Amino acid sequence: MKVVTTEKSQVLGVKIAEALDLEIVDTRFSRFPDGELYLRTGDLDGETILVGSVMDSDTLVQLLLLIDACDGSENTLVLPYMGYARQDKKFHEGEPISARAIARALSPGVARVVCVNIHEESVLDHFQVPARNLSLAPAIGEYIAAMPLADPLILAPDAGASAFAAAVAGVGGWNCDELQKTRLSGDEVRITPRAIDAEGREVVIVDDIIATGGTLATAASMLLAQGAAGVHAACVHGVFSGGAYTRLRHAGVKSVVASDTIEGGASRITAAACIAPALTSA
């Protein structure tokens, strides 16, 4: 068995291969003169672990090409970040269920799928092969435990992230709460923790995805205005679109950390330690 990765998931793929003591396949990526994507893998030996996050159209196409290049019948697809998972239903008439479209496209050619903190667990049902979801909440909790923070308050930015935040907080037995938005007037909102006062506390806001950073930047400014001693942010998938990282730091967030499901400068937590053991039992 060997591990092969797409171009944007190389570092994570190598870490998974090393953790499993498997060979990483030497794969080269380029484009045809007309812009179409091209790849060529080194020797494969049948059963293959494919690692590739879907962040955009190119990463999706590259993953489709890679699946096609792997001709084994027992391939495992590791999808560390599944873009399009947030469009998991028709919010308006005429819209696609994008998560379903991506899951259906990626299913042929693989025997099983392993995801990491997929935005909604129900999306797993759209794959046409068995699919499971892993959580990096313990890894994020361990990262926070190593930060120089005395008794941090773990906050979910909304109710949807509260189970994730509770799992993170469980690692250190820390307080946990979720933020709630109160509308003060037509154009004024106040964001506060639902039950726990943030004054004087080191706060860590945790979420599955930081995309534009809009939610967290607003929350951080308000928490600091309420007297929080410091605000930090930690997420699984650091999309950081449209300057989100600088937006957060400008809003006063002291540190921003993400995992390597999307590889980038803020990827200081590796998903490999969670993914590798799951593959031996997948």
Which residues lie near ligand R5P (CB under 6 A)? 157, 160-161, 207-215
Nearest to ligand R5P of 178, 263 (CB atom): 178
Q: Where are the alpha helices (DSSP H) in the chain?
A: 10-20, 57-69, 98-106, 137-145, 162-172, 214-225, 244-250, 272-280
Q: Which of 162, 172, 147 is nearest to 256 (CA)?
A: 147
Cα–Cα dist 156/10, whole Å? 30
Cα–Cα dist 127/106, whole Å? 8
Contact 113, 275 (CB under 8 A): no
Nearest to ligand R5P of 39, 209 (CB atom): 209
Return the axis-axis angle of helices 57-69 and 98-106, rounded to nearest 10°: 20
Report, in Å, the least distance between residue 206 CB and ligand R5P: 10
Report, in Å, the least distance between residue 23 CB and ligand R5P: 36
Tell me, rounded to whole angstroms, the distance of Cα 63 from its chain centroid. Answer: 17
Q: Which of 243, 241, 235, 242 is nearest to 266 (CA)?
A: 235
Q: Which of 8, 90, 181, 254 is catalytic?
A: 181
**∠ Cα 15 205 260 (to 5°):** 15
Whether 181 is catalytic is yes
Report, in Å, the least distance between residue 181 CB and ligand R5P: 13
Phi then psi for 245, rounded to 5 degrees?
Answer: -65, -50
Report, in Å, the least distance between residue 21 CB and ligand R5P: 35
Place of tokens 């650091």: 238
Report, in Å, the least distance between residue 170 CB and ligand R5P: 19
Query: Hey, which residues are catalytic here?
Result: 181
